[in-house]
Amino acid sequence: MKMNKGFIVFAVVLFVVMLLIDMHMPRRYDWKETYSHYDDNPLGCALFDSVLATSIPAGYHVTGKTLAQINEVGGEPATYLMVEEDISTYDESIEKLLKRGNNLIVATTDYSNIITLDTLLDNRFVGFGYEVFGSAKLSSIIKFTVEWQKVDNRYQKSTYELLNPFIQYGISSTHEEQKWTTLLTLNKTDDTVDTLAVTQQRHKGRVTLVMVPLLFTNYGISHDNTRELAMRLLTVGSDGKAIVRLDSSIDSASGGEKSESPLRYLLNHRPLRWALYMALIGVLLALVFTARRRQRIIPVINKPENHTLEMAEHIGTLYFERHDNHDMLLKKYFQFAVQLRRLAMVDLTDSAYFDQEVDALALYSTLPRQQLADDIKLVWNVLADEKQPSDHLTAQLCDKMDAIIASIKQ
């Protein structure tokens, strides 16, 4: 009995020690570029959004709406910040945004899919080929000197040091600037200069292109050197207006609220987290002290059979017996809408923006715009009708949705 009590005390002490060690171990970070409002890793934007929300005088917030939806709603002129590794949008929305007096800051490493910017910059896109964070070895990370060029009553020329994973691409400065004002340049070892950020007045607003999107991340806002540079770019690009960052990871239908499980909510609050730990320790102690030594017959356990095929046949039989074509077509359309949002950033769940979203889809699809609109409206009309569609019509509509997905240019 003394041996059993000693073993129980040893097990409890070992559990507490392991728990304390685990809590004080350094966290392993994920160095993948997500630019997500909910990612607190170095290359996410959770800390970046939090700092700017309290430091921008005119206001700062994050939204999951697209440019087409913002133009439809209207409102006070603001500065819209797009931070992505590869941005795909359509030019009509950009032009309409600027004509209404809004500003646009595009922070990306590839603007070739935005025809307005690609044309205005005369296709002067150049890659440097440096290693990205996470894959770069410590010995291969070096510092480059970048220089702030715009001189006014607020800022003077200044130099900053950036690590080479920050600088992946730039804009070649071998051609005429075409009304663009250079903000930031890279001084390379061969005495050549490439541009990293430019801005210009267009229509009633201002468009600013930044080829260093990693400045607008948790890592960028955490260091004095990069934080000052990021704030300069935001100040010049916003012209004192409120800043709204567009984040595709936020669900616009839910108002941008993050869905959390109860367990995640408990773990994110320190008092609740410790209450959970103590409850688990109490349950463990209760199990240990109430356990009794019992003789049990060990049953012979046969290898479990694989019933996967039977389950698939059973589900298929239920669908066949129910014969609910309307429900099957509705589930197919939800899957179709999710694929379109992932491949073309098009949201077909809201009829209020139907024409704008079809225009956007037509830029990515090889099918004619009218055919896309007719096929999607036909699916909507069948789903809106409470009658059950025929088997032939159901198969025909599914084929149309598959054809639209297959027509999107990758």
Report if residue 124 sits inside a domain: yes
Tens of pLDDT along the chain (410 residues) come to 445 677 677 777 877 777 777 667 676 777 888 888 888 888 899 999 999 999 999 999 999 888 888 888 888 999 999 998 776 665 678 888 888 999 999 888 776 656 555 555 544 444 444 444 444 444 456 778 889 998 888 888 899 888 877 777 777 654 445 578 889 988 776 666 778 888 888 889 998 988 889 999 999 999 888 999 999 999 999 999 999 999 877 754 444 444 456 777 777 777 888 888 888 888 887 777 776 555 566 777 888 888 888 888 887 788 778 888 888 888 888 888 888 888 888 888 777 888 888 888 888 888 888 988 888 888 888 888 878 888 888 888 889 889 988 888 76
Report if residue 81 sits inside a domain: yes
Report if residue 384 sits inside a domain: yes
Report if residue 103 sits inside a domain: yes
Tell which of 187, 220, 254 closes a domain.
254
pLDDT of residue 52: 94
Tell which of 254, 276, 295 closes a domain.
254
CA distance 115 to 89: 9
pLDDT of residue 354: 84
Question: Based on the number of CB atoms within 10 Å of its own CB, is 363 exposed (0-12), middle (13-18) or buried (19 or more)?
Answer: middle
Given the DSSP bridges, would you call strands 143-148 and 60-63 parallel, antiparallel or unpaired? unpaired
Q: Same domain, yes or no, for 58 and 173?
A: yes
pLDDT of residue 189: 64
Tell which of 239, 254, 269 closes a domain.
254
Exposure string for 140-177, b = 16+ CB within 10 A, e = fewer: eeeebebebbbeeeeeeeeebebbbbbbbbbbebeeee
Show the domain range for 317.
308-407
To which H or E segment does residue 170 belong? Answer: strand 169-172
Residues 407, 367 contacting (CB under 8 angstroms): yes
Q: Same domain, yes or no, for 248 and 345?
A: no
Paired with 255 in beta bridges are none
Which residue type, as a one-letter code, is found at position 376?
I
Q: Same domain, yes or no, for 122 and 187?
A: yes
Residues 141, 166 contacting (CB under 8 angstroms): no
Report if residue 289 sits inside a domain: no
Q: Same domain, yes or no, for 210 and 333?
A: no
Q: Same domain, yes or no, for 155 and 77?
A: yes
Residue whose pair of structure tokens reads 């037509």 in the numeric block: 362
Going by C-alpha positions, the residue among 40, 21, 44 that lies closest to residue 32 is 44
**Looking at residue 185, which CATH number applies to its domain?**
3.40.50
What is the total count of domains within the chain?
A: 2
pLDDT of residue 379: 87
Q: Same domain, yes or no, for 347 and 250?
A: no
Q: Same domain, yes or no, for 248 and 395?
A: no
The three-class DSSP label of residue 130 is coil
Q: Same domain, yes or no, for 250 and 111?
A: yes
CB atoms within 10 A of CB 108: 22
Report if residue 5 sits inside a domain: no
Structure tokens at 14: 């070992």
DSSP letters spanning 266-322: HHTSHHHHHHHHHHHHHHHHHHHHH-----------PPPP--HHHHHHHHHHHHHHH
Report if residue 330 sits inside a domain: yes
Report if residue 33 sits inside a domain: no
319 contacts: CB under 8 Å, gap ≥ 6: 328
Q: Same domain, yes or no, for 250 and 101?
A: yes
Structure tokens at 126: 């150049």
Residues comprising the chain, all counted:
410
Q: Same domain, yes or no, for 113 and 248?
A: yes
Q: Same domain, yes or no, for 237 and 173?
A: yes
> Quick one: CA dihedral 99, 37, 233, 113, positive or negative?
negative
306 contacts: CB under 8 Å, gap ≥ 6: none
CB atoms within 10 A of CB 371: 15
Q: Same domain, yes or no, for 243 and 314?
A: no
